[in-house]
Chain A
Amino acid sequence: MTAPGLSIRGLTKSFGGVRALDGVDLTVPMGQVHALLGHNGAGKSTLIKCLGGAYPPDAGTIEVGGVSYARLSPRESIAAGVAIIFQTLSVVDALTVAENIFLGQEWTRYGRIDRRAQEEVAAGLLERVAAKCSPRDRVGELPMAQRQLVEIAKALSRSASVLVLDEPTAALSGTEADALAERVEDLRTQGLAIVYVTHLLSEVERLADEVTVLRDGRVAHHAPMAGRTRRELVESITGGPLESTPRRARGLGRGHAPPGGEGPTAEAPDRPPGRERLAAPLGGEGSSAGAVDRPSGRECPPAAHGGDGSTADAADRPPGRERPPAPPRLTVHGLRGPGFGPVGLTVAEGERVGLYGLIGSGRTRILETLYGRRPASAGTVRVGDRTVTPARPAEALAAGIALVPADRRAQALFPSLSAQDNALLPSVRPLARYGVRALGAERRVFDAVATAVGLRPARPGLPAGAFSGGNQQKLVLGRWTNEARHVDVLLLDEPTQGVDVGARQEIHRVVSSLAAERGTAVLFASSDPEEIVALADRCLIVAGGQVVGELSGAGLTEQALLSAVHDTVPAEGAA
């Protein structure tokens, strides 16, 4: 359209002989959103860091606002009008919104910071990004989505003309992500050139004017978005035609999600969420997946029957009854804890049950309580026939319950320790003989699990921090799926957050085969409807700390999930 806001030509950058970027071109005109896709390690973050001035490129030029640079310092980058919103936000929690926006460029009056003027201008900027916070709020007390908007407002205050968003929705709930998408659209109309880095194809479809896919440091695909199918994109990301996941045979023909299935057959729900779609699946056709519906609560969705399972209806209809081949592996009755409950649910042997809900709906609390990380105030948990009351993760593990937590960096990974340590840590003691580590057996188990999860590179001694996000997640998953552990119930919280498409597919495959081959009961939480549909046999809708609905069989679609959540929001507020 107009003059290019950002024009990158032939950008090349190597690290110790490895080409991270190899002659990459990228042009983003003002007033356009350009989606940047690719595996982790494909070169996206190197590109962003060259743009932000963190790395000097080896060759190529970066042109911003008509000025061409061979390299940029961080300061020059800001001065040129580039603003990068990283996944890890750079806002200072202890300062107010206005102080954050003007950090490093304070307005002074007679040598003192002119708070009032700053706050007035900040209020204007916040309005521009439709943030719901006040300039005087402390950033640390704001939800993630608002902090992100503060950071965008900060960029606007520096008259940024090029805005780079690095996986901006990774930490946001569905509604928050929707709101952010609206902001991005606003900013596009305000004439910014926007580079949007993401793994989520639905976001690309909604927002992107053009799309560039990086693979191995090169541009693998570049085209206007219009008319692109997901399949094309996924193929250019992975660099080959899609294979359909073997284990997902019972996938009920809803596998339009890239990792899950047979792309083209998907009746991709491209219409806006229709409310009528919710009722149908809830009516319970879950035939093929053998899902059980819970008639009681359907008509009066949320709170009324929130305690399902704890009392009458669970008592007189044991959930496993109608599913003869698969007895319940995990049975939860009336589980309560701070911020949630009562919750009742069952997961059968070999069944994969999703928990879908907004951030703050209690999904994570439920999983963490089952795992003993949080105390339960009431309720019973049974694994098979045994009643367990895990007060610590170690006790949950002893009872056969394992958790893959959501926040990999903070809760799961040991970045400086080797891949083998990461994958085998809880297995070292069980493998040991007479208190001495069985080094040979450890290596054998590691090799087996590395093959099973498709770890790349499969080098036992490499520090986990050197792996891509997807492979890190495989290591964490391998912790519970290796042969030295016996896990009856596998809990996963956002199993593929921040993971590239290829690894996501592999992780889903590993989880599915675990369920199919070892009969492990899988209970996973996700805020990504695509993932729920791809991985779950059955999905429980969580809102306000309770299970408020269930989708299964053919009724389990992205559409239905979204409507279910949107439906329950007001009710949750009232409850």
Chain B
Amino acid sequence: MTTADPALTRPRVLVTGGLTAVRHHPLIAVLAAMVLAFQLSTGSFLNPANLRGIATDAATLAIVAVPLALLVISGYLDLSVGSTLALGGLVAGWLAGHGQSPVVAVLGALAAGAAVGAVNGALCCYFGLSAFIVTLGMLTAVRGLAQQLFPLPLSGFGPGFAWLGGSRIAGIAAPVVIAAVVLAAGALFLALTPAGRHVFAIGVNREAAHLSGISVRRTPFALFVVTGVAAALAGAIKASVLDSVVAGTSGAGFELTVLTAVLVGGVALTGGSGSILGVLLGVLFLGGLQNGLTLLNVPTFWQQMAQGTALVAGAALAYFAPRAAR
């Protein structure tokens, strides 16, 4: 083994490494099958323009899915992200529409998201309330706040703000670049920081983590804040892309979409397990599925059935395949 010619072993390592990855993430195989099927049936699924479209759509999903996945791994949950997204978009749009620089607009949105996250985090981590109840309540409350503050649709944010959603960095759309940074940061956080290990420990056994001297409140609290910030950022990006925001409907249902991506990506709702690669796969799976069905021009209700079925099938495969591989 050790004496083998590296030139010979490298491909083999790549192949076995790839197989290992597939075994750990059977969603890779599902995703590949889906891409193949869509390409064969539509002929345009893999067009660069279409892939760019999928990437920008998936970008906002990924930006929120990463911190949410961390939160779920640590045993918590945030259902309020849909409304936080709306609030972030509204704040950013309002500031931009009132002549503030795009930077100020985005910072304003992030601050609003951080505030929502801090309330969630304080109630769940420091007061020990159920994250499900708290964030479900916040989902409604923040939506109400957003509608009270901005009852009318906002639009016309100016070219400066359009940069956030529309500009290209080295040929890649800004939201995709931001999502890539968030994904990389999430993966590095989990793999390389002590707090990343703590997230898993807290999710597996909170009491044991506490007795191991880990601060079982501060880390999840921070994750709640980061999730709020990320949702607001996604909202600002969506506002920039659409050049408009509507308080009542922006991001409605987003919390379930993003949670689905996280769970399909193999993060356990019970906490303690999951990976950023899985989240990326989940996000791409959802984004690709929606796009492919549109390309195929599948009638609405069939699309819904297909979507639901594909999700269950994907999740089932992700669940059973590793057992079979054993």
Residues of A in contact with B (beta carbons under 8 Å apart): 16, 371, 373, 392-394, 396-398, 403, 405, 410-417, 421, 425-426, 428-429, 432, 435-437, 439, 479
A425 lies within 8 A of B193 (CB) = no
Chain A proximity of B187: nearest CB distance (Å): 13
- Write 12 A-B pairs (CB below 8 A) sorted by A numbering: A373-B211, A393-B211, A394-B213, A394-B215, A398-B213, A403-B211, A413-B205, A414-B201, A414-B209, A414-B272, A436-B193, A437-B197
B residues near A410, Cβ cutoff 8 Å? 205, 207-208
Contacts of B185-214 to chain A: CB distance below 8 A: 191-194, 196-198, 200-201, 204-205, 207-214
Contact B201 A437 (CB under 8 A): no
Query: Do B207 and A411 have beta carbons less than 8 Å apart?
Result: yes
A435 contact set on B, CB distance < 8 A:
193-194
Question: Which residues in A have their C-beta under 8 angstroms from that of B193?
Answer: 432, 435-437
Cβ 8 A contact of A425, one of B191, B207, B212, B326:
B212
Closest CB of chain B to A104's CB: distance in Å?
28
Docked Cα-Cα span, A437 to B188, in Å, equals: 10
Closest to B197 in A: A428
State A403–B207 Cα separation when bound (angstroms): 13
Question: How far is A392 from B205 in the complex, measured between Cα atoms in Å?
Answer: 17
Of A413, A417, A432, most buried by chain B (CB within 10 Å of CB) is A417
B213 and A437 form a contact (CB under 8 A): no
- Chain B 14-51: CB-based contact to A (< 8 A → 1; otherwise 0): 00000000000000000000000000000000000000
Contact of A415 (CB < 8 Å), options: B197, B204, B212, B326? B204
CB within 8 Å for A421 and B211 given contacts A428-B194, A436-B193: no
CA distance A380 to B209 in the complex (A): 26
Which residues of B sit under 8 angstroms from A371, Cβ to Cβ?
211
Interfacial residues of chain B within 167-194, with CB under 8 A of chain A in the complex: 191-194
B84 within 8 A of A: no
> Interface residues of B, CB < 8 Å — how many?
23
| Residues of chain B contacted by A421 (CB below 8 angstroms) | 197, 200-201
**Shortest Cβ gap from B266 to chain A (Å):** 13
Report B256 CB to chain A, min CB distance, Å: 26
Distance, CA A414 to CA B73, complexed state (A): 13
Q: For residue B207, which residue of chain A has the nearest CB?
A: A411
Q: A416-B272, A432-B194, A437-B194 are in contact. Are A397 and B213 (CB under 8 A)?
A: yes
Contact of A394 with B214 at beta-carbon distance under 8 Å, contacts A421-B197, A435-B193 already known: yes
Task: Write out the residue numbers on chain B whose beta carbons fall within 8 Å of the beta carbon of A428.
Answer: 194, 197-198
**Min CB distance, A238 to chain B, in Å?**
30
Q: Is B120 an interface residue when CB atoms closer than 8 A count as contact?
A: no
Q: Are B192 and A437 interface neighbours, CB within 8 A?
A: yes
Contact of B208 among A394, A412, A437 (CB under 8 A): A412
Residues of A within 8 A of B74 (CB): none
Residue of A nearest to B204 (CB): A414
In the bound complex, residues from chain B placing their C-beta under 8 Å from that of A415 are: 204-205
For A16, what are the chain B residues with a Cβ–Cβ distance below 8 Å?
326
B205-262 with Cβ < 8 A to chain A? 205, 207-215
Find chain B residues with CB under 8 A from A398 CB. 213
Residues 262-290 of chain B, each 1 if its beta carbon lies under 8 Å from chain A, else 0 = 00000000001100000000000000000
**Using Cβ atoms and an 8 Å threshold, which residues of chain B touch A437?**
191-194, 196-197
Which of A394, A403, A416, A479 makes the CB contact (< 8 A) with B273?
Answer: A416
| Contact call B197/A426, Cβ cutoff below 8 A | no
Inter-subunit contact A426/B214 (CB<8 Å): yes
The docked-state distance in angstroms from the alpha carbon of A206 to that of B209 is 40
Q: Which residues of B contact A393 (CB under 8 A)?
A: 210-213
Task: Kindly report which residue of chain B lies nearest to residue A405, judged by CB atoms.
Answer: B211
Give the contacts of B297-326 with A (CB-CB under 8 A): 326
* Among B194, B209, B273, residue most surrounded by chain A Cβ atoms (within 10 Å): B194
Nearest 8 A-B pairs (CB), nearest first?
A: A429-B194, A397-B213, A428-B194, A414-B204, A394-B213, A426-B212, A426-B213, A412-B208
Task: Point out the residues of chain B lying under 8 angstroms from A429, CB to CB.
Answer: 194
| Nearest A-chain residue to B191, judged by Cβ | A437
Complex Cα distance, B211 from A413, in Å, reads: 10
Q: A421 to B190, alpha carbons, bound, how many Å? A: 13
Q: Do A414 and B213 have beta carbons less than 8 Å apart?
A: no
Q: Which residues of A contact B272 (CB under 8 A)?
A: 414, 416-417
- Chain A residues with Cβ below 8 Å from B273 are 416
Chain B residue with the shortest CB-CB distance to A428? B194
User: A424: nearest residue on chain B (CB-CB)?
Assistant: B197
Residue in chain B with minimal CB distance to A429: B194
State whether B194 touches A411 (Cβ < 8 A).
no
Complex CA gap A278/B213 in Å reads 40
In the assembled complex, the Cα of A479 lies from the Cα of B213 at a distance in Å of 11
Known: A415-B204, A439-B192. 6 other contacts (CB 8 A): A373-B210, A410-B205, A410-B207, A425-B201, A426-B214, A428-B194
With a CB–CB cut-off of 8 A, which chain A residues contact B205? 410-411, 413-415
